[in-house]
Structure 1
Amino acid sequence: MGRDGDILIYARGQDSITLDPALAQDEESNKVISNVFEGLVRFKPGTTEIEPCLAEAWRASPDGREWTFYLRKNVKFHDGTPFNSGAVRFSIERQMSPPFTGKTTYASFAFGMVDKIITPDPYTVKFVLKYPYAPFLHNLAMPAAAPVVSPAAATALGEEFGQKPVGTGPFCFSEWKKGKIITLKANRDYWGGRPEQEKLVFTVIKNGRLRALALKLGLADIVDGITPPDARYLEHKGFKVLKKPGLDIHYLGFFTDKEPFNNPEIRKAVSMAIDREQIVSGVLHGFAFPANGPLPPGVLGYDPEARPLPYDPEGAKEILARNGYADGLKITIITYTNPRPYNPPGGEKVAAALKEDLARVGIEAEIKAYPWNQYKEALLREEGNSFLYGWINDNGDPDNFLYTLLSSSQIDNGLNTARYKNREVDFLLVSAQQETEPVLREQMYRRAVKAIMQDTPWVFLNHSLRIAAASPEIEGFEPHANGSVLLNFARKNKK
């Protein structure tokens, strides 16, 4: 158990923006939120599997339209008020029609499929959905939007709630010195058992090299966002280094409704011309690992045996010649200038590497780069023939990758940027949305992924690699691929 004076110091590169889960849309906010607040369910440590949290059990109706949750009893918020079904309903309705000025980022994504919420008694909550939606459980595990807030505190504090959060989690909010530190203290009455540490301090050290040095000197217990060279150095010195694939995908997309990439053979030729391993090691400097399809490891439907088209420049040349491009081909790749979590050096550097690879097979690529917001407008205009892009998953469910980005129903809203259409894939993705049995869902997603990879609407480049390190005395630290960290099980073994 925690002892007075036990402090766990977590060093990161930036401060949180808000501690109100209704408004949070950044990882640094969610790192703290996931220790102060809880949802009805949560991700098992280090995975995208769902386990009980504030709900002890749940069931879905056979048609997938009604989800009933049975809540834990005798749980209290940090302000002493009781947790119950009314608090769950309040937390969701607060976001769907916010009483304060501000944009509730994830409310429509997390709860847009909810028709109504019924609370038949203090410890039962029933969600009636507008349509069957199997990923609903994963939405309820998200650090943003899904956590339950204290109705009393949220009502009393209004817009200030994000500065003085009150949840049911293992740690209570204590102090926030903006830009410097956020201090949490152990919730001694936590239903899951008092945390191992008495205090949890999130401190900001902007420079990654200095964060690694702080760990080495004992000024921090855990650090994240460090470089591969620093990680190797710390590992050599006996520190624990944890590498986690990110819930994201980085890809070269094709406008499949425009020449020349309305021909799947030309898409395959481009894919075979690109040396993805070299891009990961030479351009992304080890901050990533090659993708073997549209899903990252750990997500339902991911197939470790899947293999994308191999790097084969000679084979690419043969395909081009067979399709009337023996003398070469000119294309335009549009890209973004900004760094992205799945591409820290930025789009221009990766695009330059792609240009070199393509030139070797006779494809002349013009690169056009834009700042992020202008880039998204160029995508909607379908500028050029192809584009460098990526996606960061919100809820750990394959639906948020595959349906969102590759269903033909997502073309008009601009999310299916490749304008990819495949009737079999559409059918499988809608069926998987409505199937609540995980084994059957996985089979549907694997079939869909196989068909997508055959069609090659994207060149699957890489996923991010998140690197954190901890002192040798720390045990029980397991970062999540979505960037959140649950630290009540982390403990410092005294020498």
Structure 2
Amino acid sequence: MIKNALTPRRLASVAVAAAVAIGAAGCGGDPGTGSAGTSTIRALLNAQPATLDPIAGARSAQVVWATMIEPLIATDAELEPAKTGLITDWKRSSPDKWTFTMREGVKFSNGEPADAAAAAATLELTRSSATSLLKTYFTNVASIEAPDATTIVINTKRPQYDIPNLLTTVFLLPPKYYKQKGPAGFSAAPVGTGPYTFEASKAGREISVKANPAYWGQKPGNTGVTFTWATEASQRLALLQSKSVDVAFDLPPAQADQAKGAGLKVVSTESALKITAVLETTKAPFDNPTLREAAALAINRDDIVKGIFNGKAVADGGLLNVKPGTQPKDKVDADPAKAKQLVGSSSPSVNLTYPAAQYTNMKEVAQAVGASLEQAGFKVKYLPVDYGTLVKQVVGRQINGMYMLGAVPNVAVPDFFATGYVKTASITGNCPSPATDKMIAKALEQKDAAAAQSTYDELNSISVVQEHCFVPLYKQIYNYGLGSGVDGVVYGPLNSVDFTKATR
């Protein structure tokens, strides 16, 4: 069992050292001054964003880029598509044709029109760019057209019920600027239609955005947001307590309790973020189905939740149950004795790759998973990497063994994981099967997610319970702390943050 704890004396010394470090990083400013509409919010993340390009970037970085760049379709409190964003209406005129209406008069912060042509260009990049992380979701799209400034028409090869849902995670880009700068240049100075605009970046130290005076919607109640990062949870807590930052994200349970004990406000939200162990079934040792079953039986998710998170996470044995509060119909329960029997005396070696600084207590979780595998008879090699490297290795099919991944359903429908993880041509591609590919296509052809639910239940049973391609572990209870007098920072379960009402 691994727990994080700091004595008050040690915490105070960490706070002083950390405050000096982050002051040198430029987070600065007088922590005790500022008023609504005239202050900059200082936000502390758990890791530096790998890229601010929404085409290539993992959605963990949208906490930063979504201040500047907006999704085509907004999401409501029930995590469903809403007609309150850049796209204000849609209709399905036939099973394979969707028509969307863009909000009139919106411009990017560089002056380019944020019209249907820009939306079509963004969707084309999402569907066809070699760097697109979402391209697997758009393989069924036959054509994207913009017949006029406010109309987008999407034709699909086969019926697909979740097109509006998918557009909630497609972020609108200025086509001329993106083409001129390229992915790297755009990431260095993003341009969007959002409530904030890019201000500055100090490499490896901070990113700042400022309020957009020309924003089409409700203007921010502050002058901007400055993002810095600290990988150690104890450091994030220390910086919050020392008033060096206004909000510290991703506080593990121990640090969240300490923050509350110090009189700070801590907000807790059950996130849709699902931490999952992914088994690479196309390579040794997990091309052997018996060893996959052994690995699945060896890992006890309930022990991880109790021992590492003090019960402040939600054990979850399913992959396709995406919304907070839901559980799968079928799951694998831990059976260490059977796992050891299945492994026998073969002592297979397995790599365990994990992003050490990306998710709450990820190092401890990886060590607990590895210890369970070792008790079953596996020889485990631990491979901690940064998150950007992990994504490249996954997409490039460079990993063998097992890796830990935070599966974020940016779209709250089961197909986000079915197409993104289970399908042969998916982000992970670790569980190829023509039969399941056909089932995923069949599910998408249904009227809606509810009509396809029985198929998704079956897909979950195949990929998790029968084939053991995935070992889902838990949904995170996401904690973030607010400094004294700070209010209005809202974290959503789909890994989104609204800073527009934040004040200090």
TMscore range, shorter length: 0.7 to 0.9
Correspondences of 1:126-165 after superposition (within 5 Å): 126-142=153-169, 146-151=170-175, 153-154=177-178, 160-165=185-190
Pick the aligned partner of 1:124 from 128, 151, 164.
151
Hey, what does 2:430 align to over in structure 1?
A: 417
SS at match of 2:209: strand
Residue type at the aligned position of 1:147: F
* 2-structure distance, mates of 1:260, 1:38: 40
1:431 Cα deviation (Å)?
1.8
SS at match of 1:104: coil
Are the counterparts in 2 of residues 290 and 463 from structure 1 also a CA contact under 8 Å? yes
Hey, what does 1:304 align to over in structure 2?
A: 327
1:106 Cα deviation (Å)?
2.7
Hey, what does 2:74 align to over in structure 1?
A: 42
1:194 is aligned to 2:219: yes
1:17 Cα deviation (Å)?
4.4
Are the counterparts in 2 of residues 339 and 346 from structure 1 also a CA contact under 8 Å? no
Hey, what does 2:266 align to over in structure 1?
A: 240
Distance 1:307 1:467, change over 3 A: farther
1:353 is aligned to 2:371: yes
Correspondences of 1:381-392 after superposition (within 5 Å): 387=402, 390=405, 392=407
Hey, what does 2:44 align to over in structure 1?
A: 11
Hey, what does 2:304 align to over in structure 1?
A: 279
Are the counterparts in 1 of residues 88 and 103 from structure 2 also a CA contact under 8 Å? yes
Pick the aligned partner of 1:367 from 380, 386, 389.
380
Q: What TM-score results when the alignment is normalised by the length of structure 2? A: 0.74
Hey, what does 2:191 align to over in structure 1?
A: 166
Hey, what does 1:438 align to over in structure 2?
A: 449
1:273 Cα deviation (Å)?
5.2
Distance 1:200 1:391, change over 3 A: closer
Moved more, 239-248 or 119-128: 239-248
Hey, what does 2:4 align to over in structure 1?
A: none
Deviation digits for residues 408-447 of structure 1 (CA, Å, limit 9, x no counterpart): x55xx894535678x5x66543222222423213343234
Are the counterparts in 2 of residues 338 and 346 from structure 1 also a CA contact under 8 Å? no
| Count of residues paired in the alignment | 458
Distance 1:157 1:276, change over 3 A: closer
1:469 Cα deviation (Å)?
1.9
* 1-structure distance, mates of 2:191, 2:73: 18
1:69 is aligned to 2:100: yes
Give the root-mean-square deviation of aligned CA atoms.
4.2
Deviation digits for residues 269-317 of structure 1 (CA, Å, limit 9, x no counterpart): 7655543322344467879642222245517xx8437463444567x49
Residue type at the aligned position of 2:199: S
Q: What TM-score results when the alignment is normalised by the length of structure 1? A: 0.76
SS at match of 1:479: strand
* 2-structure distance, mates of 1:389, 1:135: 27
Residue type at the aligned position of 1:486: D
Hey, what does 2:204 align to over in structure 1?
A: 179
Deviation digits for residues 227-267 of structure 1 (CA, Å, limit 9, x no counterpart): 32211111222312324435334237495999999788x97
Hey, what does 1:31 align to over in structure 2?
A: 63
Residue type at the aligned position of 1:149: L
Are the counterparts in 1 of residues 101 and 152 from structure 2 also a CA contact under 8 Å? yes
SS at match of 1:492: coil
Residue type at the aligned position of 2:351: T
Distance 1:16 1:448, change over 3 A: closer
Larger Rg over CA atoms: 1
Seq. identity, %: 22
1:448 Cα deviation (Å)?
3.6
Moved more, 10-19 or 89-98: 89-98
Moved more, 16-25 or 170-179: 16-25
1:95 Cα deviation (Å)?
6.1
Residue type at the aligned position of 1:89: A
* 2-structure distance, mates of 1:280, 1:58: 42
Moved more, 366-375 or 177-186: 366-375
Moved more, 86-95 or 433-442: 86-95
Are the counterparts in 2 of residues 272 and 312 from structure 1 also a CA contact under 8 Å? yes
Distance 1:336 1:346, change over 3 A: farther
Give the unaligned 5+ runs of structure 1: 359-363
Distance 1:93 1:335, change over 3 A: same
1:12 Cα deviation (Å)?
1.6
Distance 1:92 1:461, change over 3 A: closer
Correspondences of 1:313-332 after superposition (within 5 Å): 316=338, 330=346, 332=348
Hey, what does 2:19 align to over in structure 1?
A: none
Residue type at the aligned position of 1:7: T
* 2-structure distance, mates of 1:279, 1:151: 46
Distance 1:309 1:371, change over 3 A: closer
* 1-structure distance, mates of 2:161, 2:168: 13
